Amino acid sequence: MDRNGLLPHAVAEAVDLVVQARVPVVLSTGRSWHGTRAVFEELGLPPGPTVCSNGAVIVRYPPQEIIKAITFDPRPVITQVEEFAPGSLIAVEEIGRGYRLNNRFPGDDLTGELIIEDAEQLSSRPVTRVIVRDPTRSEEDFEALARHLGLHGVTYFVGWSAWLDIAPDGVNKATALAEVAAGFGVSAGDVLAFGDGRNDIEMLRWAGRGVAIGDAPEEVKAAADDVTESFDQGGPTAELRHWFG
């Protein structure tokens, strides 16, 4: 999907070619499962696994089954953020439901059930992900914030906007996809992966052929084996049709 949550028809048609060839198609996203299910259904994918929350959650659908959920203690991260970036919006994920958060996020940033809690409540139990958001900060500000915080013991991804995704240490899309691929009996060398965000870098390096979408930041393109057109121009369509058309 593009950054507006839209799935171009040409991309859906190209993905269907892969499905018809009986090749596994696995969505791998930083989104929560409840924010991904509609895309799974729109693509008409057969029952199988989906990687969510930057690799911390693996869901099999349909029917819905949480195959794996890796958690960590959010307290140190939340304490650091409140100390060094007071006023930041903080949310923790509730798998399949929504989020617990310290205040409302802008627009439709978060979907599902949204429960307002204070920092102590947010820190009270293990989570799969912490999200830090501050619309008044730039992407560069958040990169500096991530470096300043140190964030030892977790993995972090700076998003397209002033958005910081914090996952369990050593967990990313590549670690989850390696597990999923092994379940299919597929080696990394036989995986074709597409990505356009910094949270895709490990995945693009891991896959036998990692392809960056043309809109991606330069460091994402540098991690890939090839670069497609921008998403608005078709993104992964030409690459998929090359192999499956």
41 shares a domain with 87? no
Helix (H, G, I), strand (E, B) or coil at 169: coil
CB-based contacts of 22, cutoff 8 Å, min separation 6: none
In a domain, 113, yes or no: yes
Q: Which of 120, 143, 168 is the last residue of a domain?
A: 168
> What is the three-state SS of 30-58?
CCCCCCCHHHHHHHCCCCEEEEEHHHCEE
The dihedral sign for the CA sequence 116, 117, 122, 124: negative
Query: Do 101 and 164 share a domain, yes or no?
Result: yes
CA separation for the pair 156, 242 (Å, rounded): 34
Contact in structure between 212 and 223 (CB atoms under 8 Å): yes
For the chain, what is the domain count?
2
The domain spanning residue 102 has which CATH number? 3.30.1240.10
Confidence of residue 232 (pLDDT cuts 50, 70, 90): confident
Please compute the mean of the pLDDT values over residues 53-69 and round it to a whole number: 96
**pTM passes above 0.95:** no
| CA 55 to chain CA mean position, Å | 7
In a domain, 3, yes or no: no
Output helix, strand, coil percentages for the chain, rounded to the nearest 5: 35, 25, 40
| Residue at 201 is within a domain | yes
Average pLDDT, the chain: 90
Which helix (H) or strand (E) segment is 15 a member of? helix 9-20
Q: Which structural domain, as residue segments, surrounds residue 148? A: 75-168
- 153-164 as b/e, with b when 16 or more CB fall inside 10 Å? ebbbbbbeebbb
For residues 80 and 55, state if they share a domain: no
pLDDT confidence of residue 158: 61
**Distance in angstroms (rounded) separating the CA atoms of residues 38 and 190:** 27
Query: How far is Cα 142 from Cα 144, in angstroms, rounded to an integer?
Result: 5
**pLDDT-based confidence at residue 83 (cuts at 50, 70, 90):** confident
Regarding predicted confidence, which is higher, 2 or 229?
Answer: 229
Domain assignment present for 40: yes
Task: Assess whether 149 and 199 both reside in one domain.
Answer: no
**pLDDT greater than 90 at residue 203:** yes
Kindly state whether residue 211 falls inside one of the protein's structural domains.
Answer: yes
Is the residue at 4 inside a domain?
A: no
Residue 207: helix, strand or coil by DSSP? coil
On whether residue 1 sits in a domain, the answer given is no
